[in-house]
Chains A and B, each alone.
Chain A
């Protein structure tokens, strides 16, 4: 029962989802999701474990293919694109993964420079300048020669953001940016997101379950539960909502984690990180 009906497409809309359904095998994880993300907006996707928020994020960046429905990004329905057309969209987005997903065999600088080396014809000296700029933007000035294993958790996340920013993306995605960080470091990452928002007016989509971070960074929030949108609106509107599921989430009301073994098995099979499947999508 969404609180907001999505608008029709207009030039202010960056991303538009229409009745998105995603399956893993026979199980439908997302049951017809529809919402819009406006240009320059920071949208936080909230939800519990097994709500489908990770699936939603992965589908938005093209790592999962929808079963049905449409995802309009910059006027193109990415659900219907070929891999090479999808690649063109991917060059305009950046994603920061939960653990950073930095390439362990390269230095921080080489990590950030990778998209530039692969997709542009820039000179090495220019790339050097750009990567130093990006590292400075995330507060990692001078760390370009460090290996990822030498960085702390918070620094890894910052490096991941720098890499996501390398190609000056129009949309930035974050998967659980505060996960595994202590509150002070997590606050630093939140601060970074706010700074990016203000400096570059990027469209930012963050998946998290940390309410404190969400309040700080969100222009709007959307709460997902069991593959459906429960509520969508500004932080104030969400805080004031009287819907039971919304109140339960925001007031941190506990409920039994599992009722039956079958339910738990269902929840397990929803998590994309537990699937073992080869990545066979490319030509």
Chain B
């Protein structure tokens, strides 16, 4: 019975957590879409500087990682395909896998590691040093000031980063294609593009936006609910990364299934 009540408790906690995330997202959405019409303008400059951090500064590491992932994909696909004498389908395998799944997912994971943790650490530290309280006493909403710019930045940057990731993944695959599968670079790229449908790319981009929203909500929520002391900031940051990875995978499952069933007709 103890075990059952523990499960019940966990489910309730999980629902409460999800509720807090939704509440935070809702408030951020209010300040994005409704606030500007009520005399609380969007501070775009803050969003732009966040976008620099989230997006532009992630490019080097993201490029390396997704290039290697593309190469790995090509190697793994070729491993099977060559048994059927179909090694030229490597380009298809890499392109479709990257745009539909691995581009958005790997990008999300890199962003979690860089920005999800940074959001939690930044806001968590501000909570511990009473800077969040200071904002409130100055009649500045911490959600409007800190969270909304991050949401805007992530929603703008994640699709862009995903497109970049897709491109570099295909390039990584091309290294194998040119070296081992008899392609020229031009033919490989053309074959990759030919094998893609618009819905492959679009479904990946929609997922990337949802990942961005999830990562921001978790990072900011953990930051805002940090307890007192430096040790708590570390805990919040860790929790933010772990929960973000988990929830991104859940969101991935939901949307992948959704797209699957939508494509049946």
Which residues of A line the B interface, CB within 8 A? 58, 61-63, 86-88, 90-91, 93-95, 97-99, 101-104, 114-115, 118-119, 163, 273-280, 282-283
Contact = CB atoms under 8 A, between A and B. Distances in A.
A122 to B, nearest CB: 15
Contact of B134 (A62, A95, A283): A95
A93 B138 CA distance: 8
B88 interface: no
B134 A97 contact: yes
Contacts of B30: 283
Contacts, number: 76
Contact of B130 (A94, A97, A118, A282): A97
Given A276-B227, A283-B27, A98 B130 contact: yes
B57 to A, nearest CB: 16
A115 B130 CA distance: 16
B132 A115 contact: no
29 contacts: A58-B133, A61-B137, A62-B136, A63-B133, A86-B139, A87-B139, A88-B139, A90-B137, A91-B139, A97-B130, A98-B130, A99-B130, A101-B130, A101-B134, A103-B131, A114-B138, A115-B138, A118-B138, A119-B139, A163-B138, A274-B228, A276-B225, A277-B225, A278-B224, A279-B127, A279-B132, A279-B142, A279-B224, A280-B23
Contact of B140 (A88, A115, A274, A278): A115
Contacts of A63: 133, 136-137
Contacts of B133: 58, 63, 97, 101
Interface residues of B, number: 29
B92 interface: no
Contacts of B91: none
B127 to A, nearest CB: 8
B52 to A, nearest CB: 14
A90 B227 contact: no
A71 B58 CA distance: 50
Contacts of A282: 27, 141-143
A269 to B, nearest CB: 12
Contacts of B136: 62-63, 90, 279
Given A90-B136, A279-B127, 13 more contacts: A63-B137, A95-B137, A97-B134, A99-B129, A101-B129, A115-B138, A118-B139, A163-B138, A273-B228, A274-B227, A278-B224, A279-B132, A279-B142
Contacts of B102: none
Contacts of B225: 276-278
A167 to B, nearest CB: 8
Nearest to A279: B224
B226 interface: yes
A279 B27 CA distance: 12
A101 B23 CA distance: 26
A271 to B, nearest CB: 8
Contact of B20 (A88, A91, A276, A280): A280
B136 to A, nearest CB: 6
B148 to A, nearest CB: 12
A33 to B, nearest CB: 20
B151 to A, nearest CB: 15
Contacts of B224: 278-279
Nearest to B35: A283
Contact of A62 (B126, B130, B137): B137
A73 to B, nearest CB: 13
Contacts of A277: 225
B147 to A, nearest CB: 10
B231 to A, nearest CB: 11
Nearest to B223: A278
B182 to A, nearest CB: 53
Contacts of A276: 225-228, 232
Contacts of A98: 130
A15 to B, nearest CB: 15
Nearest to A167: B138
Given A97-B133, A101-B133, A278 B138 contact: no
A107 to B, nearest CB: 15
Interface string B107-133: 000000000000000000111011111
A147 B224 CA distance: 24
A99 B126 CA distance: 12
Contacts of A278: 20, 221, 224-225
Contacts of A119: 139
B137 A93 contact: yes
A98 B228 CA distance: 14
Contacts of A280: 20, 23
Contacts of A163: 138
Contacts of B226: 276
Closest 7 CB pairs of A and B: A276-B227, A278-B225, A90-B139, A87-B139, A101-B134, A101-B130, A95-B137
